[in-house]
Amino acid sequence: MRRPSSGTRTHDSGNWPDAAATHPIPHGIHPGSPSGSRKVFRDEQGYYKPTAGTAARDKIREVLKNLIWHFVAKNCWTRSLTTLKHETRVRLAAPSYVIYEHADLAGFRKFAVDFGLEEAGSSPDKSTIYYRGYGADPFVYVARQAPDNQPKSFVGAGFLALSSDDFERALHKDGAEVVDALNFPGGGRCVRFRDPNGNVLEVISNQTRRDIPECGLSNLVGRPAMNGALDKQRQGEFTRMQPGPAKVHKLGHFGYNTNNYEATLAWYQDNFNFTPTDILYAPGKQDLEVAIFMRVDNGKTYVDHHCLLLARVEKETQVHHSSFEVEDIDTQFMGHQWLEDKGHELVWGIGRHVHGSQVFDYWYDSSRFVVEHYADGDVVNEEAQTLRAEAGNMAVWGPPVPEIWHAKKQEHEVASRVAAVSG
């Protein structure tokens, strides 16, 4: 009698083999089966092997195997397509700089200093000046001399690639133009794209980043604690301020007014990792978006509430404003007073926004572009849900909304009516 070795289990069931499976039996009728209903034969080890129905079972097994492979292959291919589509998007880490052209470059230089920017370098022919903040970015603002007989213009913005792989992905995307970054402060590699309205988005990588200070630069001397009504942590110390510009840390965000809202939004979201934080819709029309605040989606990493704003208007696409971060609210007020004393023109501020929560202060530069100082803005990550709200008041507190914003509101209303008529 042949028996399996000690501890042997059947391969598929995990149970001990039954007696019929472990005892050699003669050719003939399978024990327990009707006479002649199931033939058996002995294999080389003496175990029985049924012959009747084997071909049918093999056929069923083959069909099932093919079905399983088809299912697996189809799902793997679907996932591959999804992954491929996702990987064609270039992931951006953060906005790095904006690019403007000015008819009077010397005039802008004076404003830039009063605004808290520092010169970081220039092109060999001095037709381009780079300005920096005190953060890690080698430059945050590019000021170019506008071509002769050409008006001022907003060219676009640059973003830092999240990784070297993302930069390589950018290099191989349709529409990519390699930019010579040799004379950029910090050097690096750069590639340029143009959105549906002709505005530039540059992706930069491999820069030499700046060393950053241990703490933000404030006009508040000594950084004393703030005394609350009940909690008096500043004891025996005085609060004093240093007059001067509000030192810029970094570029926070910029935005466009556009009559090409859907195509512009689709381009930024399809090609890069922009995702909405807040969406505003027309009063009484929840299905009609009039503005969107987008951030870069970097997973669990916290990023600014928004780095790109798009607003629907009737007129052609134009820059709305660019915004630069400063350390704290005292610094912001000191910078406000400095700009005022230097004779620059205020647009709106100081106040606190609803969407993004930042304390804002908007000014006209020497070319009448709108630029903003902001402090104490929200930061969010992938856990933040996209919020939808009716477009309305943009400030929690602050001075009355200026006429320029009333004009923009009227444009939103006109655009809403046009969109409603066009379906």
Residue 378 in this model has a pLDDT that exceeds 60: yes
Whether residue 306 lies inside any domain: the answer is yes
Q: How confident is the model at residue 49 (pLDDT cuts 50, 70, 90)?
A: very low
For residue 119, tell me if it sits in a domain. Answer: yes
DSSP 383: T
pLDDT 10s digits, 383-413: 999 999 999 889 999 999 988 775 555 444 4
Tell whether 68 is covered by a domain: yes
Same domain, 52 and 113: no
**362 in the same domain as 265:** yes
Pairing of strands 395-397, 346-353: antiparallel
Residues 74 and 112 in one domain: no
Q: What is the pLDDT of residue 393?
A: 84
Cα separation, 392 vs 389, in Å, equals 9
- How high is the pLDDT of residue 21? 41
In a domain, 15, yes or no: no
Asked whether residue 174 falls in the same domain as residue 46, the answer is no
d(CA 121, CA 3): 88
Q: Where are the beta strands (DSSP E) in 61-133?
A: 92-102, 118-122, 128-132
Domain CATH for 325: 3.10.180.10
Structure-block tokens of residue 57: 């079972």
Please state, as a whole number, how many other Cβ atoms lie within 10 Å of the Cβ of residue 73. 10
**77-108 pLDDT, tens per residue?**
444 444 444 578 999 999 999 999 999 999 99
Nearest CA-CA partner of 303 in 312, 291, 314, 294:
294
Nearest alpha-carbon partner for 283 in 271, 291, 274: 291
> Is-contact 195 213, C-beta < 8 A?
no
Identify whether 237 is part of a domain: no
CA atoms within 13 A on the CB side of 34: 2
Of 19, 51, 79, the position where a domain reaches its end is 79
Tell me what the mean pLDDT of segment 310-319 comes to. 94
Note the pLDDT tens digit of each residue in 125-156.
999 999 999 999 999 999 999 998 888 999 99
**Integer Cα distance of 307 and 290 in angstroms:** 17
Token pair 């143009």: residue: 194
Q: How many domains does the chain have?
A: 2
- pLDDT at residue 40 above 60? no
72 and 166 inside one domain: no
Q: Are 48 and 113 in a shared domain?
A: no
CA 223-229-235 angle, to 5 degrees, is: 45
Q: In this structure, is residue 230 part of a structural domain?
A: no
In-domain check, residue 409 = yes
User: What amino acid is encoded at 239 in this protein?
Assistant: T
Q: Where are the alpha helices (DSSP H) in 88-198?
A: 105-115, 164-171
Query: Are 66 and 124 members of one domain?
Result: no
Whether residue 164 is found in the same domain as residue 300: yes
| Residue 61 belongs to domain spanning | 31-79
**127: which DSSP letter?**
S
Task: Note whether 71 and 154 are same-domain residues.
Answer: no
Which H or E run includes 168? Answer: helix 164-171
Q: Are 295 and 322 in contact (CB under 8 A)?
A: no
pLDDT of amino acid 66: 67
Q: Which of the two residues, 291 and 38, has the higher pLDDT score?
A: 291
Give the Cβ contact number of residue 366 at 10 Å.
21
97 and 175 co-located in one domain: yes
Residue type, 241: M
Q: Do 380 and 305 meet the contact criterion of CB atoms below 8 Å apart?
A: yes
**Measured distance CA(324)–CA(297) in Å, rounded:** 20
* Residue where a domain stops, chosen among 50, 79, 108: 79
Q: Does 231 score more than 90 pLDDT?
A: yes
pLDDT given at position 54: 61
Residue 406's pLDDT is 58
* Ordered DSSP codes for 199-238: -EEEEEES--PPP--SS---SBTT-PPPP-SS-----S--
Predicted pLDDT at 88: 86
Q: Are residues 37 and 122 in the same domain?
A: no
Q: Do β-strands 28-29 and 39-42 pair in parallel, antiparallel, or remain unpaired?
A: antiparallel
pLDDT of residue 35: 44
What does the alpha-carbon distance between residue 157 and residue 319 come to, in Å, rounded to a whole number? Answer: 11
- Examine residue 11 and state whether it is found in any structural domain, yes or no: no
Q: Are residues 67 and 151 in the same domain?
A: no
**Domain C-terminal end among 79, 102, 135:** 79
Round to whole Å and give the CA distance between 182 and 193: 19
